[in-house]
Amino acid sequence: MKTTTLMAFCASLALSAMSPVSAATAVAPASLADNPLMHESTLPFHYPAFDNITSAHFAPAFAEGMRQDALEVARIANNPAKPTFSNTIVALEKSGQLLARVERIFFNLNGTVTNPEMEALALKLAPELAAHTDDIHLNVHLFARINSLYQQHDHLKLDAESRYLLERYYLNFVRDGAKLSESDKNKLKAMNAELAQLGAQFNQNVLKELNASAVIVDSREQLDGLSESEIATAANSAKQHGMEGKYELALTNTTIQPVETRLTSRAVREQVFTASMARGSRGGEFDNQAIVLQKTRLSAQRAQLLGYPNYAAYILEKGTAKTPAAVNTLLAQLAPPALANAHVEAADMQSMIDAQQGGFQLAPWDWAFYADKVRKARYSFDENQLRPYFELNSVLQNGVFFAAHKLYGISFKERTDLPVYHPTVRVFEVQDCDGKPLALFISDMYARSNKRGGAWMNSYVTQSGLLGGLPVVANHLNIPLPPDGQPTLLTPDQVRTAFHEFGHALHGMFAHVRYPMFAGTSVPRDFVEFPSQVNEMWAAWPEILQNYAHHYQTGAVMPPELQAKLTAAKKFNQGFETTAYLGAALLDQRWYQLSADQLPTNVPDFEAAALQQGGVSYALVPPRYRSTYFSHIFSGGYAASYYGYIWAEVLDADTVQWFTEHGGLERKNGDWFRQQLLSKGGSMDVMQAYRNFRGRDAQIAPLLERRGLTAK
């Protein structure tokens, strides 16, 4: 419904994309009747007809979608009949289906296969979609109907999900300004339009600078430590950009780059680290510093206009944390032990450097490289020993899918008859434990220059009893594509990410709700990471690991001694990992806990002060993201919510403990988790759903133990 318009936009603003055929076929369609977006796809599960959609189809489809949506809402708002739950709330849930469909396809593709036409359209749409949402949520007559129903909700005899839906509508409209004066509504509209525009520009800058910041090296010798496949990929990338004979190291969206673990050249490691840290803050057309300052200023002013002291207070009210104070307490509890562990880890690495007569002090670009060496010395293995056992297809089908089959009884069959938006994309039909169709799953694992960084899940079709239909969900990673004929071998972190993102996919596929607003992952931002983090546990579960961790050449199962070392090393380097994460989470909170009269004028100075104030200022451990490429909080829907990963990890660690205590990988456990949590979506208070599952509130002790943050 109406809330999905801006939510879908904000969740995907980094994106600007289309099918690879789009740029070549970007001509105006003859009419709306010929536009494939105007009607639900006739393919199974209403799967999008990617082979028929071009970039030219989107602008007219958006215009028509907004026009139809506005007419539908006007009919509801101006209905002369007395407001009822059916003619107002249910009617709103049924409205806007064309626009919702176009949004999902556009913004999902926008993140995976961008082109200039879609980039331009994304910037144009930003204020238009914000204005369209405002016209609905600030409609006086519509809110009067919703308010009338809300005031008498105790007497409407609604079932629990319907009552919760009515409450959500009322609160969403109030939070979006429905009670403001007309003059303040006009101020709010202007702010929303500018915020949307800034978010779209920020994300496009991040993607373009990520590509522009790739590090070029002159010789193969400088890439010592990388695998033959990685070196070939770097050579091919440079060749494609007109630099044959050189090597191009593409960057990922995090501060620390994966290649820093293996590059033996300290100079190249420094070059990679410096390029990564400088993104968005070195001047030029992709500099994001002005956007960061303006976006935080507008966010603070918007919150104040709506009656909140700052934007974090506004955002957190709708989450499970509720208040900035609660978030600050959790982060403050974790920062001292995390930083103390990081200092111990740094001392261990410096000792190794000194023992090898390195003659230098540990620097940030050395951390990943020497952490791997310390791990190898302590546990007698390194990542290069593991990667031959982590071949992508085996991880996916014999690991991720196998775990889901064992736990939930679902099964997977690849569909090669459905069109895809890129040749490396795969599609699987998912059958439920009773053999009935459950969902379609799209697997998009490889990095591309026109694909946003990171890893994420999205939905092309969502489940709801009201509208019918079954989910079509997608997982996206950014694994470098190896040269033809070479296997795709994953790092342990990429394996974990594959299981993590599939946890989101399960949340979407297992949705069993009546109303579209509550489908799948439509839960508070600080809860949405919980099911995905739980699913990570199966990556190292012995029965699962033995099923997928086979050597890609010999087929041999990973030796038990290597499995044991992998398990023993799980807490290794957690001081660094936790401190880097907390640095980003604290930056997020510091930016959005400012009032409108407290805003800084210099981004680097503010970052330094925020990290110092948060107790995680340590030059050797930079935050996971600096502000100028922190897409999560400046364009990706995680503003004032990045803490949610570790907030949800409290629930996750407590849940892993429950699974372990109840026998682990058993159907009865999976069925209970699915029934009490995954199927509920946002149809009830999520913390009550957790209590229904666990029998009590979550405890923090399992998280502290997992991350090695308990007292030694």
Backbone angles phi, psi at 429, to 5 degrees: -85, 135
Query: Is the CB of residue 312 less than 8 Å from the CB of residue 592?
Result: yes
- In angstroms, rounded to a whole number, what is the distance separating the alpha carbons of residues 583 and 15? 26
- In angstroms, rounded to a whole number, what is the distance separating the alpha carbons of residues 231 and 262? 12
- In angstroms, rounded to a whole number, what is the distance separating the alpha carbons of residues 172 and 166? 10
Q: Which tokens belong to 49?
A: 């007809």
Closest CA to 515 of 161, 172, 169: 161
Q: How far is CA 121 from CA 13, 128, 525, 655, in A?
A: 11, 11, 27, 43
Radius of gyration for the chain, computed over Cα atoms and rounded to the nearest angstrom:
25
Query: Is the CB of residue 447 less than 8 Å from the CB of residue 470?
Result: no
Closest CA to 521 of 503, 500, 537, 499: 503
Q: C-alpha angle with apex 123: 117 to 129, nearest 5 degrees?
A: 115
- In angstroms, rounded to a whole number, what is the distance separating the alpha carbons of residues 250 and 449? 9
Q: What one-character DSSP code corresponds to residue 247?
A: E
- In angstroms, rounded to a whole number, what is the distance separating the alpha carbons of residues 447 and 431? 29
**Which residues, 6+ apart, have CB-to-CB distance to 268 below 8 Å?**
215, 217, 222, 223, 249
- In angstroms, rounded to a whole number, what is the distance separating the alpha carbons of residues 320 and 647? 9
Closest CA to 463 of 506, 520, 546, 415: 520
Catalytic site positions: 501
Alpha helices in 319-427 (DSSP H): 324-355, 367-379, 383-386, 392-394, 401-408
In which residue are the tokens 């913004």 written? 107
In which residue are the tokens 């249910």 written? 90
